[in-house]
Amino acid sequence: MPRSRLWDLLTYAVLVILSAVCILPILWTLLTSLKYEADIVTREMIYWPTRITFDHYVTLWNQSNYPVLVVNSLVVTTVTVAICLVTGTVASYAFARFRFPGRMPLMMGYLVVRMFPAVMMIIPLFVVMRQVGLLDSRVGLAIAYTSFLLPLFVWMMKGFFDAAPKELESAARIDGSTRLGAMVRIVMPIARNGVLATCIFVAIAAWNEFLFALMLTTSQGSRTWPVGLQLMVGEFQLPWGMLAAGGIISILPVIVLFALIQRAMVAGIAAGAVKG
């Protein structure tokens, strides 16, 4: 066998093993969520159930506050993305297109901010949010999320703007367009995929976030699903089947979004991290 064939074989072996290690825990959780409780709690492990049920999903959805938690998470995620989109896009555009005094220090500032420990932020944020009445509110939590997601958004988005050609913009300017006009009508459509990828990355991060939400929400009205799920485990000894069902419901949107825009998102994350 020629040597390159051997390497191809080895490569596939590595890829198959790693993919299996990554995917099997998710599949096992999916399988658990579809098993009857009697098939989960057994003396002899049942690997492939002979019967399946959607009871865990139905019970979780109808008899717990999971729908409320999911709606809260959706609201927090949407508001977070909206804030990042509005404030972050223009900031990253400024960094990508203009050279001005203070540019480097400001960019470095956005980078250093990412190193601040979450715990160090959460404790004072709790006190500050309580003072201004934003504690235990979905908007307050979204604002808190921007503390680590906005810098991320700016760096990632800057990479996409850097990659967008400048010539069309110059042409529009020569044709009498203002800088604002060129930005809105020329650059934004070109960078559309980048904006989408960055927004999805931020959305996934906000949707998944646990620590800030645990500290900054205290009631049903604003609690997000990761906190709710964790509390259900602690308080009601949530059965494995329902816990697995909750996990699957919650990661479904993440998996779908990730699979759809994986390439652009991965490129953006790499660019944002490496240039820093």
Partner 1 sequence: MIGELSETRYWMYLLLLPSLLLITAVVLYPTIYGIQMSFREMRLNRPDLGTGFVGLKHYQRMLNDPIFWLSLRNTAVWVTFAIILEFLIGLIAALALHRNLPGSRIFAVMILLPFFLPNVVAGHMWSLMLDPRLGVINDLLLKAGLIDSYRAWFADPATAMAAAILVEAWKSFPFFTLLILAGLKGIPTDLYKAASIDGAGPVAQLRLITLPMIKTIIAAAVILRVIGLVNSPDLLLVLTSGGPGRSTMVLSLFAFQTAYRDFNFGYASALSVVMFILLMIFAWIYIRLSRINQE
Find the binding residues for partner 1 in span 196-225 (CB under 8 A): 204, 207-208, 210-211, 214-215
- Residues in the chain, how many? 276
161 sits near partner 1 (criterion: CB under 8 A): no
How many angstroms from the chain centroid is the CA of residue 24? 22
- Smallest separation, CB 269 to partner 1 (Å): 6
By beta-carbon proximity to partner 1, the closer residue of 12 and 54 is 12
Which positions ≥6 away from 49 have C-beta within 8 Å? 31, 34, 35, 36, 39
94-113 residues in contact with partner 1 (CB under 8 A) are 94-95, 97-98, 100, 106, 109-110, 113
Alpha helices in the chain (DSSP H): 3-34, 37-40, 55-63, 66-83, 89-97, 103-112, 118-131, 138-163, 167-174, 179-182, 188-190, 192-208, 211-216, 225-236, 240-274
- Smallest separation, CB 251 to partner 1 (Å): 5
By beta-carbon proximity to partner 1, the closer residue of 86 and 104 is 86
Q: Which of 83, 186, 195, 197 binds partner 1 (CB under 8 A)?
A: 83
Under a CB-based contact definition with an 8 Å cutoff, are residues 222 and 136 in contact?
yes
Mark the segment that binds partner 1 (CB under 8 A) among 54-62, 64-72, 114-122, 160-168: 114-122
How far apart, in whole angstroms, are the C-alpha atoms of residue 168 and residue 59?
56
How many angstroms from the chain centroid is the CA of residue 223? 17
Q: Which of 127, 174, 175, 219 binds partner 1 (CB under 8 A)?
A: 127
252 sits near partner 1 (criterion: CB under 8 A): no
155 sits near partner 1 (criterion: CB under 8 A): no
Total residues contacting partner 1 (rule CB under 8 A)? 95
1 sits near partner 1 (criterion: CB under 8 A): no
By beta-carbon proximity to partner 1, the closer residue of 53 and 173 is 173
Q: Which of 8, 171, 185, 221 binds partner 1 (CB under 8 A)?
A: 8
| CA-only gyration radius of the chain, Å | 23
Under a CB-based contact definition with an 8 Å cutoff, are residues 54 and 36 in contact?
no
In this structure, what token pair is assigned to residue 235?
């308080």
By beta-carbon proximity to partner 1, the closer residue of 29 and 64 is 29
Q: Which of 104, 108, 171, 255 binds partner 1 (CB under 8 A)?
A: 255
Q: Which of 2, 63, 237, 259 binds partner 1 (CB under 8 A)?
A: 259
How far apart, in whole angstroms, are the C-alpha atoms of residue 193 and residue 275?
20
- Count of other CB atoms within 10 angstroms of residue 176: 7
Mark the segment that binds partner 1 (CB under 8 A) among 74-82, 84-92, 160-168, 186-194: 84-92
